[in-house]
Structure 1
Amino acid sequence: MTTHDIAATAALPLAPGRWTLDPLHSAVNFTIRHLGIAKVRGRFTGVEAGLYVGRTADEIRVTATIDLASIDTGNPDRDAHVRASDLLDVEKRPTMVFRSTRVSGEGGDWTMEGELTIGDVTRPVTLAVEFGGLVEVPMDGSRHAGFEATGEIRRGDFGLDFAPGLLGEVVKIQLDMEFVEPRSA
């Protein structure tokens, strides 16, 4: 083990193995401008994610699949319109998939680089990640780790360039994720 490996392992105190998402304490949220003057906030409720932790930070991998039809902006009529063929077209683009390619940082602040695929378009995305900590749950003894990741994408980069002027080009993303440590750890 090199000095880099020891530092990377000590900086992020996560047990090696496949961590599972705690969906009841996780959220995928977004914000987009409407008419350039107001923000529409929403979330996706259909999320599957996994975290694989190796012996070093270089071996950390995160994957997430988001069901685009699970969009919830608090307005069912708007959500139905966003799912339609003139906007997201969830029949052609049912999911959004993220796969990390590199994780770096230390302490509570990290950067995760990866690839985001919406429909048949894949683009690089970088997320700022804050490690919220690791805690043992008193009820069952399981250990949970919390993370907040933020970033932004440009709709046009993914061929989602509908309604220019009506909807903003930039979509801000906020992920609040809680993962459960593997039982064998």
Structure 2
Amino acid sequence: MSNDTSSNTAATSVSALPLTPGEWELDPHHAAVNFTVRHLGISKVRGRFTEFTAGLYVGEALDDVRVTAEIALASIDTGNADRDAHTRSAELLDVEKRPTMTFRSTRISGEGDDWTMEGDLSIGDVTRPVTLAVEFGGVVDAPLDQKKHAGFEATGEIRRGDFGLNFAPGLLGDVIKIHLDMPFIAP
């Protein structure tokens, strides 16, 4: 495929998403960073992170679209204060040494409502590639602020061991399922 064709496809793909070029702002009041991990192999622990930021830059072509995020690992909330305190400790996440988890997209592809976002996820000093399935929820003019709002839902999974988080084998599963709700506000 020639560069001209792929450039036209990328431009058409961004045009198919009714997103205004520029820096879109995260709507933190309607965003969520959730996860699920197996406990003892028989049940699931569900949790979320309550402190995070995210950015969406929309360019003229699909290759110019960028997504970034930073999550404060100390903001973990599984609904159990003792479990959360233990998870933050040096024995598990060690938030003193690994205060944040960051994501930077490297490639976005798809069409219609279904997209794939590839990127680099860093936890502490370990960075690994991650692929997320992204569902585009659409764009609406919000009645309260009269601005365009776009919604995205992203799902995927990571392996704790890939990031050197090998604590509690047998107690906690290696696979962590991720579920993100990311609404953004137009520039």
Fold conserved (TM > 0.5)? Answer: yes
CA deviation digits over 1:89-119, x for unaligned, max 9?
0000000000000000000000000000000
The one-letter code sitting in structure 2 at the alignment partner of 1:27 is A
Structure 2: gaps (5+ residues): none
Q: Give 1:57's match in structure 2, choosing from 30, 55, 62.
A: 62
Report the Cα offset of residue 12 of structure 1: 1.3
Residue of structure 2 in register with 1:90 after alignment: 95
Secondary structure at the aligned position of 1:4 is classed as helix
Q: Does the alignment pair 1:13 with 2:18?
A: yes
Q: Percent identical across equivalent pairs?
A: 72
Distance 1:159 1:5, change over 3 A: closer
Structure 1 spans left out of the alignment, 5+ residues: none
Normalising by structure 1, we get a TM-score of 0.96
**Contact map agreement 2:11 2:62 (CA 8 A) in 1:** no
**What does 1:117-156 align with in structure 2 at a 5 Å threshold?**
117-156=122-161
Q: Distance in 1 between matches of 2:108 and 2:42?
A: 35
Once the two structures are TM-superposed, the CA of residue 26 in structure 1 deviates from its matched residue by: 0.1
| Map 1:41-80 → 2, pairs under 5 A | 41-80=46-85
Task: Specify the code of the residue in structure 2 equivalent to 1:98.
Answer: F
Question: How many positions carry a matched residue from both structures?
Answer: 182
Out of 89, 107, 113, the position equivalent to 2:112 is 107
Q: Distance in 2 between matches of 1:111 and 1:140?
A: 30
Cα drift, residue 138 of structure 1: 1.0
Partner Cα separation in structure 1 for residue 82 and residue 11 of structure 2: 52
Cα displacement string for residues 17-69 of structure 1 (whole angstroms, at most 9, x for unaligned residues): 00010100000000000000000000000011000000111111000000000
